[in-house]
Structure 1
Amino acid sequence: MNAVLIAVLAMLILSLLRVNVVLALVAGALIGGLTGGLSIEKTIEVFTGGLGGSAEVALSYALLGGFAVAISKTGLPNLIVDWMINMIGKKGESKAKTYSKAIIVILILMMSIFSQNLIPIHIAFIPILIPPLLIIFNELKIDRRLIASVLTFGLTAPYILLPVGFGAIFHEILATNMAEGGMKINMGDIPTAMLIPTAGMVIGLLIAIFVYRKPKSYQNHQVVEVEKNEYSKAGIIFSLVAIIAALAAQLYFESMIIGAVAGILVVYASGAIKWREADDLLTEGMKMMAFIGFVMLAAFGFADVLKETGDVDSLVTQSANAIGNNKAMGALLMLVVGLLVTMGIGSSFSTIPIIATIFVPLSIQLGFSPMATIAIVGTAAALGDAGSPASDSTLGPTAGLNADGQHNHIWDTVVPTFIHYNIPLIIFGWIAAMIL
């Protein structure tokens, strides 16, 4: 049996059994490597070697965590939390609860979307902003699976559709690898081609809002009590300047690391953070993002083991042979293979180079148009990013929502997002492939 299938299934089953995701990835890599014909020594060597590939990602997340903590010291998150508390009242009685829930969901959705395109800090805002809001969620009895679904939508749908921020990176990777596969495309066509798959995610979000609309009770813990830190107009202004500086530096140097450093320096210059506090600040930020960093490290090692077995190419080739000249079956199988690969790797950005080399020639052979091919490859890569245990799009929401230990990563984030986004993506991605 294909080593990729066995490894991914093993990782998913262990995760569903509530085994720590890092351990599940390590175990899945060992099982996949041995199944793929690698010795245990070779599997460990490849897995260990793969850890270095995520060094830049880990450092980026650590510095973004530091930037997020720095921003929190300016009082901006507290200002937002205080505003929300005043809006709903201390006991949630001054406004209709339904209205308050709607406002909160919309604001969180907007912030998560902005984190991908307008202010590309990715998931760094979640562990800072969400934990103080848990007391409000508890008061309004908001189902945290709803918030997880909203956050994950905002972390994935924008970059799939919009060529700005992380979306520009995704679209460039997609265009480059499709050209290498034998099909040159205009990057301006990508948003049009991905419009239908993204519409599927919108429908999934609406379904999630309906499904998780019922009140759910949680226990209040001291860890989620809102701290009444002081904030000033100057601090708020400097925090906004820091965000703009981080965005400008990231876009100019094309580096999240440089962007985070620029933002931190602006906050330091404002006086909100003292230079002597730099070490403690960065350490706090690194701790905040540590779990995500470890999972991403393990995911890179897991991915390298799967590649070393050669069964990723084998899986794609076998699927191509099974398709024949059936376009409908071809589109469906390519999407499913993309789901399997991305679920294991946890990154749509890393999945594109793997699948494009086979999917693009196969799409040409089956007679798919360039627009349809964009939809197939783009959707196949995006699949699993929203529902993978190793994806930062699921790890980020969990990092914030589980601050008090009442939100399970697998059952409260991964499973809901898989159901509400991956299934619609397959359906609407297939529709896009057939009509474009």
Structure 2
Amino acid sequence: EAGIDISNISVTKAMAIPALGMFVGLLVAVFISYRKPRQYQQLAIDKAAHDEVLEGDALSKTAAGAQTQSKMKTLVALAAIVTAFVVQMYTDSLLLGSMFGFGVFMATGVVKWSEADTVFNDGIKLMAMIGFIMITAQGFAEVMKATEQIQPLVDGAASLFAGNKAIAAFIMLLIGLIVT
């Protein structure tokens, strides 16, 4: 619509930069941010309430068992992501891919049958929120197109970096995130 030739542009290659950023963020979170030792305060507790919690709760597990379970959940999550991606690629159906990914969580017991409705409904709420944000961003983009303010925004960002394509691309991604 803007008159730019996009015949040689690959969406996969264009989205590689944001996808790589999310992957790096995931690695930083897993291996740096959440690996730091935590300092807990020792507080007085009600002994009867404490014993009641220990009888049927996950707190009764040993630290090693809880850590092993956490690693297992991470591996199951990775398997669910791969499953959802593969199913989506071969069937061209986002819905089918997400159902298979959720099925992996259910089949392995990471999501218990009793919690399935809550987890599924929370996922639907999250997708609705994301959809609302995307619709709002699309509306804002249409306003920018109608008022012909896209070109001045791009020209202003490009002129700031005088030919440095990497920084200009980063700033344009940042502007896109801010607009969204």
- Which TM class, normalised by the smaller chain length? 0.3 to 0.5
Q: TM (normalized to structure 1)?
A: 0.23
Task: Return the structure number with greater relative CO, CA threshold 8 A, min gap 6.
Answer: 1
TM-score, normalization by structure 2: 0.45
